[in-house]
């Protein structure tokens, strides 16, 4: 009865629809976001969604989100991949830039120039740190945990030494401060940048050979070896990207709080891992979506802001996050797919 | 990288380069021993204070808590897991038990308190083991979660204040001496008795790993859990045992920390887990499991304690500690990675 093209179109449409509905992690995260939002509205009232609060939540997301994407990339690469050095790289790049850039560019005479050089120096530090991690893991075959544990201590060690253990104040530098706080069309600049970076990396994972190879390496290292691409090169690129993302987080931190310190955000290592696990990235490698990482970061941020509204202590928030991590490890093992698909 | 360091140091011994590096790679703890000797010689040459009895006793005292943590971590690591929660377990038990003893039963002898800490640590460790087993997630992530839960449980529900009025029995325990030496300049160096706890724990851990069926099972599961299960080893039992043992030692270590410092600070010990992991890895245990020795771990503990305590004697600012330990980890990791490729 049906003409063939129509049928294929119908099938295709069904396929797309099913794909959209079936990614349970995505559904789960979207509903988690909505639930948290509803709970926050019910508890904290409509002031939770006023522009001011939304913006203040949005500027807090990029730091953790960027570190989370870095951890996610390392995890997707498989073979015990993880990047524990993220926050150490972020702090180191901020400190190096804060110490070196004023020597070349005066923040008072050329603030815009200063901001750009600041960002540039941070990125360079990120590339170097990422390359060190990547080389240790790909060339010297260190286990990622050991390599990044060692480098995270070494990087924060360097931060302590060059900053002498104390914080460095940047003062008010307009372009940098704007980057941390100002909103264009209601969207804070650093949040927009974060979304752009996340979209870029998500697209790279999905549509480029890099992404295909990374998923292959993570899901089946042996098959990847026979596929004939350079695994070492791939790992090097992955950890370098992770380093760059961490250094961007360093710029965001410096812009937001106008100072840098070696021990800023020591608990971020754990929270970044929490975000990534909540996002459903498989710890053994081979699966993970960047959009889920972003959604998981927003859910956590809203939850944290809700606790702030309720005036709940930070310690209790950490308690809740630890419990959440364990709960999500359990939830992510229940496969909703089976009964979602068979219904029609 | 590691090869060049080794050859630089073995030139005086006139051994052939390849022979020595090959030997070192087969016996990873020797690399740590070499680093210890090197650091000691260099710092001893710069500062004569290093070889004084007082300094050596200080180091022995400082390595007790790290050593206990390290032995527990070694057992978990050998079984193929990773424990990130031991410092939280230690902090929770030391603060809880100290405040509870002080307010309800100040007459309680230290032996009972230590036993309670051991049992409490064991129970928390068993929870870790069961969670790791049933969630089927990497132990690193699970124990990061439990670390958060335990530490923030302590800070939210039990207390955040420094507690100084610790019971007499706990305070006295830290004061027992086994060796008192009068030094030349008139001061007195004391080796406290609780150092013996580390010695006992070392012997027990060695016995478990090398002389019991459980030790066999731990190394088998850590080496390859699939094959070990097919051989009939009970994965759940071994995992629960390893984490429970680590928790037990953590509980004891927490109480020793209180009795040596004579105060209980709920914020203490957090963040020391990286140093402990560094010590165990420097001791030659593979991070992927299935290997490791008690002697190597204790050597690693000595090295980390050395770096943390005596850099200052050599005129190096203490800010370099983290950097030096980090470099040692990378160096040791690179060396052991070479071992695995052969």
Q: What is the model's pLDDT at position B46?
A: 82
User: What is the three-state SS of chain B?
Assistant: CHHHHHHHHHHHHCCCHHHHHHHHHHCHHHHHHHHHHHHHHHHHHHCHHHHCHHHHHHHHHHHHHHHHHHHHHHHHHHCCCCCCCHHHHHHHHHHHHHHHHHHHCCCCCHHHHHHHHHHHHHHHHHHHHHHHHHHCCCHHHHHHHHHHHHHHHHHHHHCCCCECCCCHHHHHHCCCEEEEEECCCCCEEEEECCHHHHHHHHHHHHHHHHHCHHHHHHHHHHHCHHHHHHCCCCHHHHHHHHHHHHHHHHHHHHHHHHHHHCCECCCCCCCCHHHHHHHHHHCCCCCCCCCCCHHHHHHHHHHHHHHHHHHHHHCCCHHHHHHHHHHHHHHHHHHHHHHHHC
Task: Answer yes or no: do B333 and A284 touch at CB < 8 A.
Answer: no
* Lookup: tokens for B197: 């706890």
Query: What digits encode the pLDDT tens for the residues A152-168?
Result: 888 988 888 888 777 78
Q: What is the model's pLDDT at position A16?
A: 52
* Lookup: tokens for A28: 């789960």
- Contact list in A for residue B148 (CB cut-off 8 A) is 270, 318-319, 321-322, 325
Q: How many residues does chain A have?
A: 344
Distances (CA, A) of A229 to A141, A144, A220, A236, B157: 17, 20, 14, 13, 54
DSSP state of A166: S
Residue B211 located in a structural domain = yes
Nearest chain B Cα to A164, which residue? B319
Q: Is A142 helix (H, G, I), strand (E, B) or coil?
A: coil
User: Does the pLDDT value for residue B2 go beyond 60?
Assistant: no
Q: Which range marks the domain in which residue A67 is found?
A: 63-335
Cβ of B156 under 8 Å from any chain A Cβ?
yes
Q: What is the model's pLDDT at position B121?
A: 95
- Contact list in B for residue A161 (CB cut-off 8 A) is 317, 319-320, 323
Partners of B163 in beta bridges? B264
Ramachandran area for residue A164 (φ above 0: left; ψ -120 to 50: alpha; else beta): left
- Contact list in B for residue A136 (CB cut-off 8 A) is 330, 333-334
Beta-carbon contacts below 8 Å between A and B: 140
User: Does the pLDDT value for residue A170 go beyond 90?
Assistant: no
How crowded is residue B340: how many other Cβ atoms within 10 Å of its Cβ? 11
CA neighbor of A148 nearest in space, from B277, B169, B342: B277
Residue B242 located in a structural domain = yes
Q: Which residues contact A307 (CB under 8 A, 6 or more apart)?
A: A316, A317, A320
Of A140, A158, A326, the CB nearest to B142: A326
Number of domains in chain A: 1
Read off the pLDDT of each residue in B124-150 and give the average, rounded to a whole number: 89
Ramachandran area for residue A265 (φ above 0: left; ψ -120 to 50: alpha; else beta): left
Q: What is the model's pLDDT at position A186?
A: 75
d(C-alpha B292, C-alpha B80), whole Å? 11
d(C-alpha B233, C-alpha B236), whole Å? 9
Residue B124, min C-alpha distance to chain A (Å): 15
CA neighbor of B61 nearest in space, from B317, B301, B314: B301
DSSP state of A184: E
Cβ of B105 under 8 Å from any chain A Cβ?
no
Q: Under a CB-based contact definition with an 8 Å cutoff, are residues A288 and A72 in contact?
A: yes
- The C-alpha angle with vertex B153 and arms to B151 and B157, in degrees rounded to 5, equals 135
- Weakest mean pLDDT among A34-38, A124-128, B7-11, B193-197: B7-11
- Contact list in A for residue B156 (CB cut-off 8 A) is 313, 315-316, 319
Q: Which range marks the domain in which residue B149 is found?
A: 48-269
Q: What is the model's pLDDT at position A309?
A: 79
Read off the pLDDT of each residue in A287-294 and give the average, rounded to a whole number: 87
* Lookup: tokens for B105: 């039963």
Residue A284 located in a structural domain = yes
Task: Answer yes or no: do A153 and B325 touch at CB < 8 A.
Answer: yes
Residue B246, min C-alpha distance to chain A (Å): 20
d(C-alpha A234, C-alpha A226), whole Å? 14
- Contact list in B for residue A151 (CB cut-off 8 A) is 326, 330
User: Does the pLDDT value for residue A311 go beyond 90?
Assistant: no
Residue B318 located in a structural domain = no
CA neighbor of B197 nearest in space, from B140, B114, B277: B114
Could you tell me the pLDDT band of residue A344, with boundaries at 50, 70 and 90?
A: very low
Residue A341 located in a structural domain = no
| Helices first, then strands: H and E counts in chain A | 15, 4
d(C-alpha A139, C-alpha A239), whole Å? 12
Residue A24 located in a structural domain = no
Hey, of A136, A157, A269, which one would you mutate to test binding to chain B, going by the most B CBs within 10 A of its CB? Answer: A157
Structural Rg of chain A based on CA atoms: 21
Q: Is A141 helix (H, G, I), strand (E, B) or coil?
A: coil
Strands A187-188 and A168-169: unpaired
User: Does the pLDDT value for residue A120 go beyond 70?
Assistant: yes
Identify the H or E element spanning A332: none
Cβ of A330 under 8 Å from any chain B Cβ?
yes
Could you tell me the pLDDT band of residue B225, with boundaries at 50, 70 and 90?
A: confident
Maximum alpha-carbon separation in chain A = 80
| pLDDT over 70 percentage in chain A | 89
Partners of B191 in beta bridges? B179
Q: Which of residues 73-92 of A touch B (CB under 8 A)?
A: 80, 82
DSSP letters, A60-129, are: HHHHHHHHHHHHHHHHHT-SS---TTHHHHHHHHHHHHHHHHHHHS-TTT-HHHHHHHHHHHHHHHHHHH
Query: What digits encode the pLDDT tens for the residues A213-237?
Result: 888 888 887 888 888 788 888 889 9
Task: Answer yes or no: do B333 and A157 touch at CB < 8 A.
Answer: no
Of A157, A323, A333, the CB nearest to B326: A157
What is the ipTM metric for this complex?
0.76
Residue A44 located in a structural domain = no
Read off the pLDDT of each residue in A96-110 and give the average, rounded to a whole number: 81
Q: What is the model's pLDDT at position B239?
A: 93
Q: What is the model's pLDDT at position B238?
A: 93
Q: What is the model's pLDDT at position B163?
A: 85
Read off the pLDDT of each residue in A103-113 and give the average, rounded to a whole number: 78
Distances (CA, A) of B251 to A270, A287, B98, B172, B286: 23, 38, 12, 19, 25
Read off the pLDDT of each residue in A15-38 and give the average, rounded to a whole number: 70
User: Does the pLDDT value for residue A48 go beyond 50?
Assistant: yes
Residue B64, min C-alpha distance to chain A (Å): 22
Nearest chain A Cα to B286, which residue? A143
| Cα dihedral B220/B226/B232/B236 (nearest 10) | 80
d(C-alpha A224, C-alpha A218), whole Å? 9
Of B271, B323, B337, the CB nearest to A154: B323
Cβ of B130 under 8 Å from any chain A Cβ?
no
DSSP state of A260: E
Read off the pLDDT of each residue in A192-204 and give the average, rounded to a whole number: 91
Read off the pLDDT of each residue in A160-183 and give the average, rounded to a whole number: 77
Could you tell me the pLDDT band of residue A7, with boundaries at 50, 70 and 90?
A: low
Number of domains in chain B: 1
Cβ of B267 under 8 Å from any chain A Cβ?
no
Burial A77-115 (b: 16+ CB within 10 A, else e): bbebbbbbbbbbbbbbbbbbbbeebbeebebeeebeebb
DSSP state of A188: E
Query: What digits encode the pLDDT tens for the residues B42-94?
Result: 888 888 777 888 888 888 888 999 999 999 999 999 998 889 899 999 999 99
CA neighbor of B336 nearest in space, from B20, B70, B31, B7: B31
Could you tell me the pLDDT band of residue B21, with boundaries at 50, 70 and 90?
A: low
Residue A297 located in a structural domain = yes
Q: What is the model's pLDDT at position B87?
A: 93
Q: Under a CB-based contact definition with an 8 Å cutoff, are residues B209 and B75 in contact?
A: yes
Ramachandran area for residue A311 (φ above 0: left; ψ -120 to 50: alpha; else beta): left
Q: What is the model's pLDDT at position B341?
A: 57
């Amino acid at each position: 009865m049906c003409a063939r093209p129509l049928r294929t179109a119908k099938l295709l449409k069904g396929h797309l629809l099913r794909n959209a509905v079936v990614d349970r992690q995505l559904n789960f995260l979207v509903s988690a976001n909505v639930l948290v939002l509803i709970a926050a509205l019910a508890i904290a009232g409509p002031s939770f969604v006023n522009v001011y609060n939304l913006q203040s939540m949005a500027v807090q997301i990029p730091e953790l989100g960027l570190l989370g994407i870095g951890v996610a990339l390392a995890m997707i690469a498989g073979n015990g991949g993880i990047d524990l050095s993220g926050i150490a790289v972020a702090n180191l790049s901020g400190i190096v830039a804060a110490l070196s850039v004023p020597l070349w560019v005066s923040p008072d005479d050329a603030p815009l120039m200063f901001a750009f050089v600041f960002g540039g120096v941070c990125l360079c530090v990120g590339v170097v740190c990422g390359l060190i991690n990547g080389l240790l893991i790909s060339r010297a075959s260190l286990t990622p945990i050991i390599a990044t544990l060692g480098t995270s201590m070494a990087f924060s060690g360097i931060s302590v030494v060059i900053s002498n253990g104390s914080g460095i104040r940047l003062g008010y530098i307009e372009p940098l401060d704007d980057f941390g706080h100002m909103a264009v069309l209601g969207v804070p600049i650093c949040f927009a940048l974060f979304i752009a970076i996340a979209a870029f990396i998500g697209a790279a994972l999905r549509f480029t050979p890099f992404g295909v190879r990374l998923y292959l390496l993570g899901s089946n290292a042996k098959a990847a070896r026979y596929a004939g691409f350079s695994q070492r090169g791939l790992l090097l690129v992955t950890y370098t990207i992770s380093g760059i993302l961490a250094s961007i987080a360093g710029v965001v931190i410096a812009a937001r709080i106008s100072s840098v310190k070696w021990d800023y955000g020591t608990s971020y290592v754990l929270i970044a891992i929490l975000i990534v696990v909540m996002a459903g990235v498989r710890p053994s490698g081979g699966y993970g979506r960047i959009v889920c990482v972003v959604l998981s970061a927003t859910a956590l941020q809203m939850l944290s802001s809700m606790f702030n509204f309720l005036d709940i202590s930070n310690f209790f928030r950490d308690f809740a996050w630890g419990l959440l991590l364990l709960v999500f490890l359990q939830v992510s093992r229940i496969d909703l797919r089976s009964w979602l698909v068979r219904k029609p | 990288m590691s090869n060049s360091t080794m050859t630089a140091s073995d030139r005086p011994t006139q051994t052939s380069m390849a022979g020595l590096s090959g030997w070192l790679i087969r016996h990873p703890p020797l690399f740590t021993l070499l680093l210890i000797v090197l650091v000691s010689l260099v710092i001893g040459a710069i500062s004569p204070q290093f070889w004084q009895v007082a300094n050596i006793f200080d180091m022995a005292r400082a390595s007790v808590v790290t050593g206990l943590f390290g032995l527990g971590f070694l057992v978990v690591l050998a079984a193929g897991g990773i424990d990130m929660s031991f410092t939280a377990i230690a902090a929770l038990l030391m603060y809880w038990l100290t405040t509870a003893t002080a307010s309800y039963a100040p007459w309680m002898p230290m032996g009972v308190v230590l036993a309670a800490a051991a049992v409490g640590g064991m129970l928390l460790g068993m929870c870790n083991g069961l969670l790791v087993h049933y969630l089927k997630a990497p132990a690193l992530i699970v124990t990061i979660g439990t670390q958060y839960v335990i530490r923030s449980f302590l800070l939210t529900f039990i207390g955040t204040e420094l507690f100084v009025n610790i019971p007499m029995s706990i305070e006295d325990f830290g004061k027992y001496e086994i060796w008192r030496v009068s030094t030349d300049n008139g001061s007195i160096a004391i080796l406290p008795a609780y150092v013996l706890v580390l010695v006992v724990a070392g012997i027990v851990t060695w016995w478990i790993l090398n002389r019991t069926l459980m030790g066999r099972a731990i190394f088998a599961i850590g080496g390859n859990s699939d094959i070990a299960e097919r051989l009939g080893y009970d994965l759940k039992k071994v995992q629960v045992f390893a984490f429970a043992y680590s928790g037990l030692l953590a509980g004891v270590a927490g109480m020793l920390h209180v009795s040596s410092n004579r105060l209980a600070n709920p914020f203490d010990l957090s963040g020391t887990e990286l140093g402990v992991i560094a010590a165990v890895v420097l001791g030659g245990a593979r991070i992927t499991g299935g290997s490791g020795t008690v002697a190597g771990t204790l050597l690693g503990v000595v090295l980390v304690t050395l770096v943390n305590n005596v850099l200052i004697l050599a005129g190096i600012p203490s800010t370099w500690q983290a950097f030096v330990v980090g470099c040692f980890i990378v160096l040791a990791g690179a060396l052991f990675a070479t071992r695995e490729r052969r």
